Structure 1
Amino acid sequence: MVTPQLLVVDTSYLFFRAFHGVPSRLRGPAGEPVNALRGTLDALTRLLEERRPTHLACAWDQDWRPQWRVDLLASYKAHRVAADGHSEEIPADLVVQIPVIHRLLTALGLPVLGAAGAEADDVIGTLAALFAGVGAVTVASGDRDFTQLVDDAAGVGLLTPVGRTPGWREIHEAQTRETYGVGPASYVELASLRGDSSDGIPGVPGIGDRTAARLLDRYGDLAGVRRAAADGAVEKGGLTARQAEAIRAGADYLDIAPQVIRIRRDLPLGVGPDDLLLPRAVADRAGWDGLVDTYGLGSPATRLLQALGL
């Protein structure tokens, strides 16, 4: 019996990477941009060929910057807000391709899952929890926040891209410790201390990856680090006076940062494992064929159908 294997893709990561990695000179029959379309289909094909999953889900950002996270931390993704004050700043040539990607995936019959007030990260975390006990889960994304989901015992791994190549590298607990100096269970606390400029999370001044990992190892967890700072525990191999002061000064930030960074795993997605099985036929053949013809996607579309066995 084949062990169930769920591949969950961070769809927005795929199409952003495709847009910036596939030449913009590629145009459809009417001169429209298609580089993100072609690159996303090609990336899915490669993942299917290499991973051979039994189940597949495409996580979608229903809300790229949920208000509840902004209420906790006003700087959260603030640097990526467009001039209209609420949408994400995205190149115009990519904006027009995003809804087409959604229509293509839906017409093909792949589950495209999002939830109100939630990012794709939270959808992925919920799917990983949903599939626990059913089979293995592999998350495909270049977002390092997914490190917190890695769990060898539960069979949850992460695929991250290998530089600018089409290849992917598999991440488990050993690789997490090798890269960050802590295990996945400590990643949220490490990220809280060191911050993440890509998401507008400031971190504690003067504390980077290595220092955060060393302090968490020395004092056990973030609460232990904060207790040591509050007690003025300045010692060799532990906190310096400057670090202790920075941690004390950042008390309000450290109260909320883990809540912002932590991926939700309890969204009401309304699906079960059987809803994530690979499609046995194209769900909307006319719609799929129409989109493929309209945007000149014949070759990547054919390869994707072959990878799915359709």
Structure 2
Amino acid sequence: MTQSRPLLLVDAPSLYFRAYFGIPESAARAADGSPVNAVRGFLDMISTLIRNRRPDRLVCALDFDWRPAWRVALLPSYKLHRVAPEGGEVVPDTLSPQVPLILDLLAAVGIPAVGHDGYEADDVLGTLATREPAPVEVVSGDRDLFQLVDDARGVRLLYVGRGVAKLEDCDDAAVRARYGVPAAGYADFAALRGDPSDGLPGVAGVGDKTAARLVDRYGSLDAILAALDDPAAGFAPGLRGKLAAARDYLAVAPTVVRVARDVPLPPLRTELPTAPVDPDGLLALAEKWNLAGPCRRLVDALAG
């Protein structure tokens, strides 16, 4: 089943972190002085996406577990540098209180926000992108989500690494142009070259170009590892040694990097409303938190 207008799948943490750091706290405060910069920026990003992409369905994905135990068990370094001394993720003190407000506003508007215990927002996005009718547009600044791009199925990534106003609409050709591998090979590419932002060490001495060349030549990390045992495979001795030394890491890294596509999410009503489902609740929140402008812009975007 294919629809004419897209399902917009929004990586909510990616957007509200970006909003928080993009708007000074002094520029957006409630009457009591509480900063609402992340909320304001997030709402305006959603409004811009609705106006520009014209979806008829929209879901926001949440991190119920930003560092799942099953990923850490495979790779203890996974996001280790982002663990706070007292445990949990390092999150600015003035951002944490804004997240529940974002969720309250989304509920008043009628936009579903969903997560699942033991999984990251990426996994929720991967599951919905796999199970929901196309076309699907995934919105995130997380490079790992390039792996979800699927031209045959109609799944694209709207990459907001430079902001929503300068998003990059990525199909498979765009992923190839950017990294030298197809979207289906991105997870293996990332495992080989590593990603310090996620605590993935990669293979020592293997950078972007070598990783892309390997994935392009052999097709998958499994095939690369199988070729290591073939003297006729043509590996330079130095490269063969680097890959062999990293064999234990490469045995688990792809599972860590690959987005889960089978999160047991309940059925969702994904239809984007044309007006808030709780207008009085939305008005009360807008007045209490000095968010009349962003809320009005979102309501106007819904009305189209």
- Partner of 2:253 in structure 1? 257
- Partner of 1:39 in structure 2? 41
Partners of 2:147 and 2:187 within 8 A in 1: yes
Matches within 5 A, 1:11-26: 11-26=12-27
Report the CA distance between 1:286 and its aligned residue.
3.2
Q: Please give the secondary structure, in 2, of the residue aligned with 1:33.
A: coil
Partners of 1:229 and 1:245 within 8 A in 2: no
- Partner of 1:142 in structure 2? 141
TM-score, normalised to structure 1, is: 0.93
The answer to whether 1:90 aligns with 2:91 is yes
Q: Read off the aligned partner of 1:301 and give its amino acid letter.
A: C
RMSD: 1.8
**Are the structure 2 counterparts of residues 165 and 47 from structure 1 closer, same or farther at C-alpha, using a change threshold of 3 Å?**
closer
Report the CA distance between 1:48 and its aligned residue.
0.3
**Are the structure 2 counterparts of residues 122 and 208 from structure 1 closer, same or farther at C-alpha, using a change threshold of 3 Å?**
same
Matches within 5 A, 1:242-253: 242-253=238-249
Matches within 5 A, 1:211-250: 211-231=210-230, 235=234, 239-250=235-246
Report the CA distance between 1:241 and its aligned residue.
2.2
Decide which of 277, 282, 298 is 1:283's aligned counterpart. Answer: 277
The answer to whether 1:292 aligns with 2:286 is yes
Give CA-to-partner distance per residue, 1:254-292, whole Å, 9 cap, x none.
1111111111111121114xx100124423333322211
- Partner of 1:76 in structure 2? 78
Matches within 5 A, 1:57-206: 57-85=59-87, 87-131=88-132, 134-161=133-160, 163-164=162-163, 166-206=165-205
Q: How far apart, in 1, do the equivalents of 2:262 and 2:233 lie?
A: 40
Report the CA distance between 1:294 and its aligned residue.
1.3
Partners of 2:185 and 2:219 within 8 A in 1: no
**Are the structure 2 counterparts of residues 116 and 194 from structure 1 closer, same or farther at C-alpha, using a change threshold of 3 Å?**
same
Q: How far apart, in 2, do the equivalents of 1:45 and 1:224 lie?
A: 44
Partners of 1:234 and 1:244 within 8 A in 2: no
Q: How far apart, in 1, do the equivalents of 2:30 and 2:177 lie?
A: 44
Q: How far apart, in 2, do the equivalents of 1:233 and 1:298 lie?
A: 68
Counting matched residue pairs gives 302
Q: Please give the secondary structure, in 1, of the residue aligned with 2:59.
A: strand
Q: Please give the secondary structure, in 2, of the residue aligned with 1:158.
A: strand
- Partner of 2:265 in structure 1? 269
Partners of 1:230 and 1:244 within 8 A in 2: no
Q: Read off the aligned partner of 1:268 and give its amino acid letter.
A: P
**Are the structure 2 counterparts of residues 68 and 165 from structure 1 closer, same or farther at C-alpha, using a change threshold of 3 Å?**
closer
TM-score, normalised to structure 2, is: 0.94
Report % sequence identity.
47
- Partner of 2:32 in structure 1? 30
Q: How far apart, in 2, do the equivalents of 1:71 and 1:163 lie?
A: 33
Unpaired runs of 5+ residues, structure 1, are: none
Unpaired runs of 5+ residues, structure 2, are: none
